[in-house]
Each structure stands twice: as C-alpha cells, then as structure tokens.
Structure 1
Amino acid sequence: MSETRIKLMDPKIDFAFKQIFAGNSQESKTVLIALLNAILDRDEDEQITDIIYLNPYTDKPFDDAKQSIMDIKVKTAEGELVDIEIQIRNTDNYRKRSLYYWSAMYAEQIVAGESYFEINPCIVINILDFNLIRENEHYHSVFDIRERRRGFQLVGDLEIHYLQLNKLSGQADATGLTTLEEWLIFIKDAANMKKRGLIETIKKRNEVIAMAEKILARASADEFARAAYQQRRKWYLDRVSSEEYLIKQGIEQGEKIKALDIARKMLSLDFTDEQISLTTGLSKEEIAALRKE
C-alpha cells in the first residue's frame, strides 16, 4: 500500500513525531541525524555522524496519555546531549520550561566529586505549532550565553532552539526552500492532503524526507500505533477544549466583575436602576442586591 493512500498520522502530534524520529530502526536514526544537522546548520566537518538514543521508542502501551513523555533524547558521537520535542500547546511559561529541561540535562551529567570537565554541551530543540518568540519574526530563534557588551560566548554548553511552524510563509511550491524548511514543512503538513503536491515535490528533492514519510506511513497503517496515536490526539484535543472553556469563563467572570464595579459607582452617584441596567447589562434584581450592600 502506498503511503499516499494511507491517512497519515500528523507529525505535529508528539506520538507520531517519535514514531518517525525515534522508532526501532536504522531508518529512524538516519532521519533524526538529518533533521538535527539541518537545524544545527554546522560546517560539514562538525556535523553529527552518529547518535545513541537515551529514551528510545517502546512498544509498551500507556494508559495515561498525560504521563507519557514523548521528547527524544540522544547523545552524539562527540558527547553532546540533545533533547528534541514537538509541542502544539503553549503550556505554562514555555521559555522557562525549555531552560529547565536544559538545566536538568546539564546537571545530571556528574555526581559529587567528579570534575566539571566531564560535563558535555547540552542542546534543547523545541519545534512549536504556536508563536512563542514574538520579538523575532523569523521562524528559527537560537539562544546561547554571551557577554552583553562584546558578544563573545562564555561557554558553548548551552544552546536552545525554537522552531515556530506558524511563522513559515505559505509555500505554493518548493522553489528556494532550504533543507531545514523542507523538514519543517514535512512535519507541519505531511498529514494535510491540500499540501500533498508540495510534500511530493519535497520528497523528490530530499530522499531522507521520503524515507521519513515511509516510516510514518508504516506507523499509520499499524493498528496498535494508530490506536495509541488517537488516544494521544484525543488527550490534546480535550486539553485544548478545556483550556478554551476556562478562558471563556474567565473572560465572562471578568466582565461581570467590571459591570458590578461600574454599577456600584453609578449607585454612589444616584443613577436610577434603569440607567444602571442599560449601562451595565445587570438585571434589576442584581442592582437591588447591590443597593443592600
């Protein structure tokens, strides 16, 4: 069965993302190395050549989607630690969250009595389906530690990347795309049938992305993987719906509080109940209750 005839899982859902880039195959390792090199954009002699998965994909089923950690952690042949994840929701304070992930990786490398020379650089890569870095219009922002005036680097041990899919300009064709942009468009639109023509063009230009879609197609056709994916996707949708409801409730509650405050001020200025009701939208019963305060 051709992968284009299968309803592909959406790589923006972290379960599908991990199926592609951390599956139990050499192909997954190949596509992850290619993605990392596209993101890090290093000179040819500094590119990643091999990785070891520190939290590989497992076929073990999970009962609680919330408790399933879907980031991918690897160690490169040069000893660097890399954590890469995809997120579709802006949770908590995401900037501090990614810094915390980096600090945990960095601190866990040594125990008491060991030399700080043993600590390897750590890289955190965040692929986001929302806009986080509003200070920069470009889709790719990279942060490290530098001296404020002169701009030189303190150490090369901290590197945090934010790749914001929503900032990719709408592409009608693959003309002029960088390798990184090809990867990000694949991640963003592989499951979007309206973008199938663009994805097919990218696959012809980039054989490793074609390999990535074959992995995704196999996972999408697997009954167990599909069920686990749907569970994870449903959890995300439920969370989004719940948050939207709470936001709406908060707005409505805020508007109510504002209306009550205005009504109290109008009462102090001897406005009539009818005037207050027309201005604030409060009922006459609510205004009567305020008069008794």
Structure 2
Amino acid sequence: EYWDDRSLFYLSKMFSSQLQKGESYDKLQKCIQVGVLNFTYFKKDNFCHRRVRFYDEATGDLYSEKLELQILELPKIPKEYHHPDGIIAWMKFFRGGNKKEMEEMAKGNAYLESAYEDLMEMSQDEKKRLAYEARERALRDQLALQHQTEKIFQQIAEVQGELDKAKDTLAETKGQLSKTQGQLSKTQGQLSETQGQLSETRGQLSKTQGQLSETRGQLSETQEQLSETQKQLAEAHAQNDVAHDQGRKDAIIDLYQKGLLNLEQAASSYGMSTEDFQKLIF
C-alpha cells in the first residue's frame, strides 16, 4: 500500500541522512533505492525492471544522477530468460521457491553464490537468524508505526481544520448574536417608548370619555329643557290661537251689530249658519 510514496520516502531519507550537522553538501553520494516487488505495480506494460530518475520536463535533460529508483517486479520475469548474470538473474534468485532452486540459480554467478552462502549461513546460525528476523520485524514495525503516525497526523490536521472552521463559525455566530442583541435592545427601547405613548393615549382617551359622558349628561339635560320649552311654546301658541279666535269672533259680532256686516256675511265669517248665528246673538 502507498508503494510510490513509500519508495520516495525511503530514497529521500537515505539521501538526507548522509550529512551530519555542519557537513557540506559536496559529501552527498548517489543513492539508489531498490524495490523488489512480489506483485505487479505497473499494470500497463511487461517491463520487469525499470530505472526511475529525475529529468527536466521541458528539455528532457537529466536533472541529477544522485537520486535513482530501481524497481523489480518479480511476477513479470520472462520465462525464456536463462542468462546467469544481470539484474534478471538476481530477480529470479529473489523469487526462488526453495533451497535447491536458489542453489541452482546461484551457480556460475559469484555474487549470487556469495548471497546464497550468506543465506545458508543465516539459516544455520540461529543467533544470526533471530537477529535477522528481529531486524525485519523492527523494520516492519517501524514502517507500520510510520504509516500509523502519518495517518494520525493526517487525522489531527483534519480535526484541526474542522476545529478552525468551527472557531470561525463560532466567531461569526457571536458577531451575528451581538448584532441581534443590539437590534433587540433598540427594539425594546422603541417598545418601551411606544408603551409610554400608549399609556398616555389611554389616559387622554379616558379623559375624553369622561368629557364625553359629561357632555352627554349636559346634552340630555338640554334636551329635557328644550322639550319643556317646546311644550310651553305649544301651550302658548294654543292659548294665543284661542285668544286670537275669540277676538276675531268678538270683532265679527261687533261689526254685525254696528251694521257693517249683514247676517249672511257675519255668519259666514263666524263659521256657522245664519240661524245659529242669530241664536248666538239673541
């Protein structure tokens, strides 16, 4: 898992660990990271061995020869290759399934024979084998710890990012809350002012209602006085009409007696027949 990143990490670590504090860069030596893969990583071709170096993308020139990756994919070893020397011989040796196969592949190649002898010595020497296994376990544990540490740091970074985001959101929320509280205080002040105005208006309304009640009482009293006055006026009119009618009748009788009106004129003006008028006179 993460083979590409791991291989770059190993190579960079190997290169940077050459210098001690105060040493010059001219002491840096070429570093080659050899990756022996028992699985197929590059699935688009059949190259079992590849060399990766750093080149200028624009010009194609080699940038530096001091960093190099050698990648060996054991499942891609060609079956028809039988030459005892070269990198593929080493690859076949690494892929050896048992002691006999490895011994046969080592024949004729001094380097492979030396490696085979070292392996045999390690397998026979219990202490060396245990030390080798301990070193391998330590390396695996270191790699696992490194991977776990990287994941933890990544998780910490993600949590820190979420925390920073939450802090920003909290600050924004506090700002909005402060603004809302200011608006609320202003609204409460306006409400208090409105309530004061409402109380004042209610007082004025109550006063006006009292004045209206008083005015209604005065109006009722005035209406009663008006009714009494109208009644008295009607009585006066009635009395005046009676007096006027009586005066008119007396005037008619007086005119008749003086001979200024004849019997028919006097009776007609009086509003009765001649017979009744004569009875009234005599």
TM-score norm. by structure 2 comes to 0.41
Higher relative contact order (CA 8 A, sep 6+): 1
Greater Rg, structure 1 or structure 2? 2
Structure (1/2) with the larger helix percentage: 2
